[in-house]
Protein backbone atom coordinates (compact mmCIF):
# COMPACT_ATOMS: atom_id res chain seq x y z
CA UNK A 1 0.00 0.00 0.00
CA UNK A 2 2.77 2.39 0.92
CA UNK A 3 4.46 1.55 -2.35
CA UNK A 4 1.33 2.67 -4.23
CA UNK A 5 1.14 5.95 -2.32
CA UNK A 6 4.76 6.72 -3.13
CA UNK A 7 4.23 5.74 -6.74
CA UNK A 8 1.16 7.97 -7.20
CA UNK A 9 2.74 10.83 -5.27
CA UNK A 10 5.80 10.66 -7.54
CA UNK A 11 3.58 10.48 -10.60
CA UNK A 12 1.64 13.55 -9.40
CA UNK A 13 4.90 15.41 -8.80
CA UNK A 14 6.33 14.42 -12.19
CA UNK A 15 3.19 15.50 -14.08
CA UNK A 16 2.93 18.79 -12.19
CA UNK A 17 6.60 19.58 -12.69
CA UNK A 18 6.46 18.56 -16.34
CA UNK A 19 3.47 20.73 -17.20
CA UNK A 20 4.78 23.65 -15.11
CA UNK A 21 8.14 23.40 -16.87
CA UNK A 22 6.35 23.49 -20.23
CA UNK A 23 4.46 26.61 -19.19
CA UNK A 24 7.70 28.18 -17.98
CA UNK A 25 9.47 27.45 -21.25
CA UNK A 26 6.53 28.88 -23.20
CA UNK A 27 6.55 31.94 -20.97
CA UNK A 28 10.28 32.44 -21.58
CA UNK A 29 9.85 32.03 -25.31
CA UNK A 30 6.92 34.47 -25.36
CA UNK A 31 8.84 37.00 -23.28
CA UNK A 32 11.88 36.76 -25.53
CA UNK A 33 9.67 37.22 -28.58
CA UNK A 34 7.97 40.27 -27.06
CA UNK A 35 11.33 41.72 -26.07
CA UNK A 36 12.48 41.31 -29.65
CA UNK A 37 9.33 43.05 -30.93
CA UNK A 38 9.73 45.80 -28.37
CA UNK A 39 13.34 46.42 -29.46
CA UNK A 40 12.31 46.43 -33.10
CA UNK A 41 9.60 48.95 -32.30
CA UNK A 42 11.93 51.15 -30.26
CA UNK A 43 14.46 51.09 -33.11
CA UNK A 44 11.81 52.39 -35.47
CA UNK A 45 10.80 55.10 -33.00
CA UNK A 46 14.49 56.01 -32.69
CA UNK A 47 14.66 56.35 -36.46
CA UNK A 48 11.47 58.44 -36.53
CA UNK A 49 12.79 60.81 -33.91
CA UNK A 50 16.34 61.17 -35.25
CA UNK A 51 15.51 61.31 -38.99
CA UNK A 52 12.16 63.03 -38.91
CA UNK A 53 11.18 64.81 -35.72
CA UNK A 54 14.49 66.44 -34.81
CA UNK A 55 15.24 67.83 -38.30
CA UNK A 56 11.60 69.00 -38.56
CA UNK A 57 11.83 70.83 -35.23
CA UNK A 58 15.13 72.44 -36.19
CA UNK A 59 13.65 73.62 -39.47
CA UNK A 60 10.51 74.94 -37.80
CA UNK A 61 12.60 76.89 -35.29
CA UNK A 62 14.49 78.52 -38.17
CA UNK A 63 11.22 79.45 -39.87
CA UNK A 64 9.74 81.04 -36.75
CA UNK A 65 13.03 82.84 -36.03
CA UNK A 66 12.98 84.28 -39.54
CA UNK A 67 9.46 85.53 -38.96
CA UNK A 68 10.48 87.13 -35.66
CA UNK A 69 13.48 88.86 -37.25
CA UNK A 70 11.33 90.31 -40.01
CA UNK A 71 8.66 91.38 -37.52
CA UNK A 72 11.32 93.14 -35.44
CA UNK A 73 12.64 94.87 -38.55
CA UNK A 74 9.13 96.09 -39.36
CA UNK A 75 8.56 97.38 -35.80
CA UNK A 76 11.93 99.14 -35.85
CA UNK A 77 11.42 100.81 -39.21
CA UNK A 78 7.70 101.17 -39.85
CA UNK A 79 7.72 104.84 -38.85
CA UNK A 80 10.48 105.56 -41.38
CA UNK A 81 9.38 103.44 -44.33
CA UNK A 82 9.95 106.42 -46.64
CA UNK A 83 13.68 105.90 -46.01
CA UNK A 84 13.55 102.18 -46.82
CA UNK A 85 13.68 100.41 -50.17
CA UNK A 86 10.32 98.98 -51.14
CA UNK A 87 12.07 95.69 -51.99
CA UNK A 88 13.36 95.45 -48.39
CA UNK A 89 9.90 96.23 -47.03
CA UNK A 90 8.49 93.66 -49.46
CA UNK A 91 10.88 90.97 -48.29
CA UNK A 92 10.06 91.44 -44.61
CA UNK A 93 6.31 91.72 -45.18
CA UNK A 94 6.47 88.55 -47.30
CA UNK A 95 8.39 86.67 -44.60
CA UNK A 96 6.16 87.72 -41.72
CA UNK A 97 2.98 86.95 -43.68
CA UNK A 98 3.98 83.56 -44.98
CA UNK A 99 6.32 81.95 -42.50
CA UNK A 100 4.23 79.45 -40.62
CA UNK A 101 4.76 75.78 -39.95
CA UNK A 102 2.87 72.52 -39.86
CA UNK A 103 4.33 69.75 -37.72
CA UNK A 104 4.00 66.40 -39.46
CA UNK A 105 5.01 63.67 -37.06
CA UNK A 106 4.89 59.93 -37.49
CA UNK A 107 3.16 58.53 -34.44
CA UNK A 108 2.35 55.16 -35.98
CA UNK A 109 5.10 53.13 -34.38
CA UNK A 110 4.51 54.65 -30.96
CA UNK A 111 0.77 53.94 -31.24
CA UNK A 112 1.53 50.34 -32.23
CA UNK A 113 3.82 50.01 -29.20
CA UNK A 114 1.13 51.46 -26.98
CA UNK A 115 -1.84 49.51 -28.36
CA UNK A 116 -0.01 46.18 -28.42
CA UNK A 117 0.90 46.49 -24.74
CA UNK A 118 4.62 46.17 -25.54
CA UNK A 119 5.20 49.54 -23.89
CA UNK A 120 4.85 47.74 -20.54
CA UNK A 121 8.03 45.77 -21.32
CA UNK A 122 10.14 48.94 -21.31
CA UNK A 123 12.16 48.76 -18.11
CA UNK A 124 13.07 52.44 -18.05
CA UNK A 125 10.12 54.30 -16.55
CA UNK A 126 11.54 57.67 -17.64
CA UNK A 127 11.59 56.49 -21.24
CA UNK A 128 7.91 55.53 -21.07
CA UNK A 129 6.95 58.86 -19.53
CA UNK A 130 9.22 60.67 -21.99
CA UNK A 131 7.51 59.06 -24.97
CA UNK A 132 4.02 59.71 -23.59
CA UNK A 133 4.86 63.31 -22.86
CA UNK A 134 6.44 63.78 -26.29
CA UNK A 135 3.32 62.89 -28.22
CA UNK A 136 1.11 64.89 -25.91
CA UNK A 137 3.29 67.93 -26.53
CA UNK A 138 3.22 67.25 -30.28
CA UNK A 139 -0.57 67.66 -30.17
CA UNK A 140 -0.15 70.94 -28.32
CA UNK A 141 2.43 72.17 -30.85
CA UNK A 142 -0.01 71.39 -33.66
CA UNK A 143 -2.71 73.32 -31.82
CA UNK A 144 -0.43 76.37 -31.58
CA UNK A 145 0.37 76.11 -35.28
CA UNK A 146 -3.35 75.90 -36.16
CA UNK A 147 -4.06 78.89 -33.93
CA UNK A 148 -1.23 80.87 -35.51
CA UNK A 149 -2.37 79.99 -39.00
CA UNK A 150 -6.07 80.68 -38.41
CA UNK A 151 -5.81 83.77 -36.20
CA UNK A 152 -3.04 85.64 -37.95
CA UNK A 153 -1.61 84.14 -41.09
CA UNK A 154 -4.81 84.40 -43.12
CA UNK A 155 -5.16 88.14 -42.43
CA UNK A 156 -1.48 88.83 -42.97
CA UNK A 157 -1.49 86.92 -46.24
CA UNK A 158 -4.57 88.84 -47.44
CA UNK A 159 -2.74 92.09 -46.77
CA UNK A 160 0.41 90.84 -48.50
CA UNK A 161 -1.54 89.69 -51.57
CA UNK A 162 -3.05 93.17 -51.99
CA UNK A 163 0.17 95.09 -51.41
CA UNK A 164 2.98 93.06 -52.94
CA UNK A 165 4.41 92.64 -56.42
CA UNK A 166 6.32 89.44 -57.10
CA UNK A 167 9.37 90.29 -59.20
CA UNK A 168 10.94 86.89 -59.73
CA UNK A 169 9.87 83.36 -60.52
CA UNK A 170 12.73 81.84 -58.51
CA UNK A 171 12.08 81.09 -54.89
CA UNK A 172 14.16 80.67 -51.75
CA UNK A 173 14.50 77.42 -49.81
CA UNK A 174 11.26 78.26 -48.02
CA UNK A 175 9.38 78.84 -51.26
CA UNK A 176 9.29 82.61 -50.91
CA UNK A 177 9.90 84.63 -54.06
CA UNK A 178 13.51 85.76 -54.24
CA UNK A 179 12.40 89.31 -55.08
CA UNK A 180 9.17 91.02 -54.11
CA UNK A 181 8.27 94.65 -53.80
CA UNK A 182 5.90 96.31 -51.36
CA UNK A 183 3.46 98.51 -53.29
CA UNK A 184 1.13 99.61 -50.50
CA UNK A 185 0.84 102.64 -48.26
CA UNK A 186 4.08 103.41 -46.45
CA UNK A 187 2.07 103.79 -43.28
CA UNK A 188 1.21 100.21 -42.34
CA UNK A 189 -2.33 99.71 -41.01
CA UNK A 190 -2.63 99.27 -37.24
CA UNK A 191 -4.43 95.96 -37.74
CA UNK A 192 -1.41 94.56 -39.60
CA UNK A 193 0.98 95.71 -36.87
CA UNK A 194 -1.38 94.35 -34.22
CA UNK A 195 -1.44 90.90 -35.83
CA UNK A 196 2.34 90.85 -36.30
CA UNK A 197 2.80 91.73 -32.63
CA UNK A 198 0.56 88.90 -31.45
CA UNK A 199 1.97 86.46 -33.99
CA UNK A 200 5.52 87.27 -32.84
CA UNK A 201 4.47 86.55 -29.27
CA UNK A 202 3.22 83.14 -30.35
CA UNK A 203 6.32 82.54 -32.51
CA UNK A 204 8.51 83.08 -29.44
CA UNK A 205 6.42 80.74 -27.29
CA UNK A 206 6.53 78.17 -30.08
CA UNK A 207 10.33 78.37 -30.31
CA UNK A 208 10.66 77.97 -26.54
CA UNK A 209 8.41 74.93 -26.54
CA UNK A 210 10.12 73.29 -29.51
CA UNK A 211 13.62 73.94 -28.16
CA UNK A 212 12.62 72.21 -24.95
CA UNK A 213 11.15 69.39 -27.02
CA UNK A 214 14.45 69.02 -28.93
CA UNK A 215 16.40 68.61 -25.69
CA UNK A 216 13.94 66.05 -24.45
CA UNK A 217 13.98 64.15 -27.75
CA UNK A 218 17.76 63.86 -27.60
CA UNK A 219 17.37 62.53 -24.09
CA UNK A 220 14.82 59.99 -25.33
CA UNK A 221 17.26 58.84 -28.03
CA UNK A 222 19.92 58.21 -25.35
CA UNK A 223 17.44 56.28 -23.27
CA UNK A 224 16.32 54.17 -26.23
CA UNK A 225 19.94 53.31 -26.98
CA UNK A 226 20.39 52.15 -23.40
CA UNK A 227 17.14 50.19 -23.42
CA UNK A 228 18.02 48.38 -26.65
CA UNK A 229 21.54 47.39 -25.51
Q: What is the 3-state secondary structure (H, E, C) of 56-86?
A: HHHHHHHHHHHHHHHHHHHHHHHHHHHHCCH
182: part of which helix (H) or strand (E)?
strand 180-182
Nearer to other proteins, 146 or 222 (CB): 146
Nearest alpha carbon to residue 225 among 31, 33, 40, 43? 43
Q: Is 140 in the site for other proteins (CB under 8 A)?
A: yes
CB of 166 to other proteins, least distance (A): 26
Nearest alpha carbon to residue 202 among 104, 96, 105, 131? 96
Binding mask 27-56 toward other proteins (x if CB under 8 A, else -) reads: x-----------------------------
Q: In whole angstroms, how far apart are CA 23 and each of 19, 34, 96, 212?
A: 6, 16, 65, 47
Nearer to other proteins, 7 or 167 (CB): 7
Q: Is 23 in the site for other proteins (CB under 8 A)?
A: yes
Provide the 10 A C-beta neighbour count for residue 185: 9
3-state helix, strand, coil in the chain (%, to 5): 80, 5, 15
Nearer to other proteins, 64 or 181 (CB): 64
Nearer to other proteins, 129 or 218 (CB): 129
Q: Is 128 in the site for other proteins (CB under 8 A)?
A: yes
Binding mask 86-105 toward other proteins (x if CB under 8 A, else -) reads: --------------------
End-to-end CA distance of the chain: 58
Nearer to other proteins, 22 or 172 (CB): 22
- Which neighbouring-strand residues pair with 150? none
Asked whether the beta carbons of 158 and 84 are under 8 A apart, the reply is no
Subset of residues 163 to 202 that bind other proteins, contact rule: CB under 8 A: 190-191, 193-195, 197-198, 200-201
- What interhelical angle do 54-77 and 190-228 show, nearest 10? 160
- Give how many residues touch other proteins by CB under 8 A: 46
Using the contact rule CB under 8 A, the part of the chain among 36-44, 149-157, 159-167, 221-229 near other proteins is 149-157
CB of 180 to other proteins, least distance (A): 24
Q: Is 158 in the site for other proteins (CB under 8 A)?
A: no
Chain contacts with other proteins (rule: CB under 8 A):
8, 11-16, 18-20, 22-23, 27, 114-115, 117, 119-120, 125, 128-129, 131-133, 135-137, 139-140, 143-144, 147, 150-151, 155, 190-191, 193-195, 197-198, 200-201, 204-205
Amino acid sequence: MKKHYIRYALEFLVITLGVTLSFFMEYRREKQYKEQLKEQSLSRIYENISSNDIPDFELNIRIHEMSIRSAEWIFEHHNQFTEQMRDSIGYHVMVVSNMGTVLVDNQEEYRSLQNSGLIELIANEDLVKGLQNKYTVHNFIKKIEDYNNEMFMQNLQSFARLNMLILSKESTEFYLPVRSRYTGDLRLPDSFLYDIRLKTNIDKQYIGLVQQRLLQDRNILDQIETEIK
